[in-house]
Structure 1
């Protein structure tokens, strides 16, 4: 059975490489890989670390290209790959423009779609944007829905998806994280960037920052204001891998440069990211994936959004919504820094996102599921 997996961003690559490893090692499948390179450098870092060599590299990244242009280019180019490969299944992950356009191309070519990490919902089409629309649209024509949690599966049932096409698999991001942590421990030289920062900030607790969501582009100065206030603490070090988008980078460079205990660094490759996740005292983020990854390593997460498509983390107590108001951010971070019981409760709460065996379950489903 030929499986074509299509992805284009670093988060997709992280969440799909465990499945690609499983498909590669399973004699039941011929695995083919197509990348759109919606992200380029960050994608390539993960591919190299995971040992994944694409069969098709479309190289569609362009500076400042609009979503409609990117979507159209992916739709056409992936369509050409489908004509050449004629796979039995197309696998997409999550809610990116690549996932949506590739799934739509497969639908146009009457090839069944397997949606990994299906069923996430915030309930608000504008938040996160455009991801909420992308994942809802993919659900309307996917043939196989691999939901990470029971709540995600329930979301699909409420949208009238056939129950027999919905399966709870856990999230492949946990598979990836556990695999990567072992590799990092075996090869500390792979995390040179973080080892240097650890020496620089020895004796201080580390807060890891990430901010890149489009709906937060208008709130970057508020986020920077909160970080600047937190940086006044002598017991704290802030590590901020700054997204390359000018809407993020330009603001943060102006607002935060020159602060002794704030490290504004380039986006980390995956091994260094895993190391930072492992040593951070807490995470302050607007990312979706970090809400799943950090709890697996016992790191509390404060989410700079008003809604999340990962309410399981909120319910489990591993994450908390704090929005983008500087006062609220500072208060919540301070609480976790100064109240050891609150921090311990979040750090020890059960991670609802899986046991590290999601990829093998998806392999079995691809072989057995009706198309």
Structure 2
């Protein structure tokens, strides 16, 4: 059996690493790793951490790139690789441009696609943008749908996906997180602060010009709570950085850093008291470490976390963010309720379930090389 995994961004690298390792350990499985390098430096750190070396590296990242340019480059580069390798199945993850275009390229070659993290839906085609439509289109192209939760499975069934094509497996990000959180690590002295850490990330494309309220809320929080330190690894997108420097005030308890590698970020998240983010993956990761998450968005494709009480949507206004975060800072019982809520996103065995499913289908088949 030959399995090809295609990835290109840091989140894909993190979430697919434990699955790739699991497949590579399985006798009779030949694994081929393709890195489009839609992200470069941040993804390279992840691949190094997990000891993964791509068989193909397209190195497409440019200082200024658009979804259109990324799509065209991947489509042109991937076709010949699929022809040469002839995998039995191609695995993609999530909702990136790499994942969507790779699914389409594989479909054109009539190669089955396995979609890891299938069925997530926010219900708004423009939020997150373009990720919401990417994942919907991947699910229409895929043969195997690896859903995180039963709610994701229900989304797929509602869109006409056959029940036998869907398996609920949890999320591979929990596999990666638990592995990484157990690795030995010495904190950077600059970030080894006393008191309560509020870890912040913002990067969503659709939020870029709506972040003033988020940053003004942070300014007020550090003034109000002397025990609170904000640590903010800022995304490399220059538009994000421009908004940060425009609205977030300089303060001794606001530490702005370059993006952290996954090992350091995981251990920082583990030590954090709260997280404020517009990321998707962190909504699943931080609750696995018993850290409450406040989501600076108006909707989420992970409503299971909101129902479970591990996350809370704050929107993007200063007033709403302040009110919601103050509740857990002022009332210990409100904090405990979020921190101790059961995380609905998995038990650390998602990769094994995917591997077993693929082996049961493709073991013994002649791959087309």
**Contact 2:90 / 2:114 at 8 angstroms: preserved in 1?**
yes
Separation of aligned partners in 2, 1:110 and 1:122:
29
2-structure distance, mates of 1:62, 1:267: 18
Question: Which residue number in structure 2 is paired with residue 358 of structure 1?
Answer: 350
Alignment of 1:167-206 (within 5 A): 167-183=167-183, 187-189=184-186, 192-193=187-188, 195-198=189-192, 201-202=193-194, 204-206=195-197
Distance 1:21 1:39 in 2: 21
Structure 2: where are the runs of 5+ without partners? none
- Assess if the C-alpha contact under 8 Å between 1:165 and 1:369 holds in 2: no
Greater Cα shift, 72-81 or 348-357: 72-81
Residue 246 of structure 1 is aligned with which of 235, 238, 244? 238
**2:118 partner SS:** coil
Tell me whether 229-238 or 316-325 shows the greater mean CA deviation: 229-238
- The SS at the match of 2:245 is helix
How many Å separate the matches in 1 of 2:8 and 2:25? 23
**Correspondence for 1:53:** 53
> What secondary structure is seen at the aligned counterpart in 1 of 2:211?
helix
Distance across 2 between alignment mates of 1:244 and 1:99: 21
Aligned to 1:285: 277
Counterpart for residue 39 of structure 1: 39
Q: How many residues align?
A: 362
Question: 1:98 and 1:348 mapped to 2: Cα distance?
Answer: 36
- The alpha carbon displacement at 1:2 in A equals 0.6
For residues 197-229 of structure 1, the C-alpha deviation after alignment (integer angstroms, 9 at most, x for no partner) is 11xx21x21000010001101112222111111
CA–CA distance in structure 1, aligned partners of residues 178 and 65 of structure 2: 35
Q: Which residue of 2 aligns with 1:226?
A: 217
Q: Deviations over 1:226-285 (max 9, x none)?
A: 111112131110000001111111121233352110000011100111111101111100
Larger helix share, 1 or 2? 1
Asked whether the equivalents of residues 185 and 267 of structure 2 are also in contact (C-alpha less than 8 Å), the reply is no
Q: Using the alignment, how far apart are the partners of 1:262 and 1:300 within structure 2?
A: 20
CA contact (8 A) 2:298 2:315 kept: yes
TM-score (normalised: structure 2): 0.96
1:296 to 256, 275, 288: 288
- By how many angstroms is 1:196 displaced? 3.1
Provide the residue aligned with 1:212 in structure 2. 203
Aligned: 1:273 with 2:270: no
**Which ranges in structure 1 are unaligned for 5 or more consecutive residues?**
none
- Distance in 2 (CA, whole Å) between partners of 1:293 and 1:188 is 18
Deviations 1:304-353 (A, max 9, x none): 11110000000100001011001111111111111110010000000101
| Residues 1:348 and 2:318 are matched in the alignment | no
Paired residues of 2:146 and 2:169 also in contact (CA < 8 A): yes
TM-score by structure 1 length?
A: 0.95
Aligned match of 2:359: 367
Q: Distance in 2 between matches of 1:42 and 1:253?
A: 22
The residue that corresponds to 2:25 in the other structure is: 25
Contact preservation (8 Å) 2:36, 2:58: yes
Give, in whole Å, the separation in 2 of the partners of 1:3 and 1:20.
9
Closer, same or farther: CA 156–369 of 1 in aligned 2, 3 Å: farther
Residue 161 of structure 2 is matched in structure 1 by 161
- The equivalent residue for 1:140 is 140
Q: The residue matched to 1:218 in structure 2 has which SS? A: coil
Q: What's the RMSD between the two structures over aligned residues? A: 1.2
State the shift of 1:173 in Å: 0.4
**Equivalent position of 1:89 in the other structure:** 89
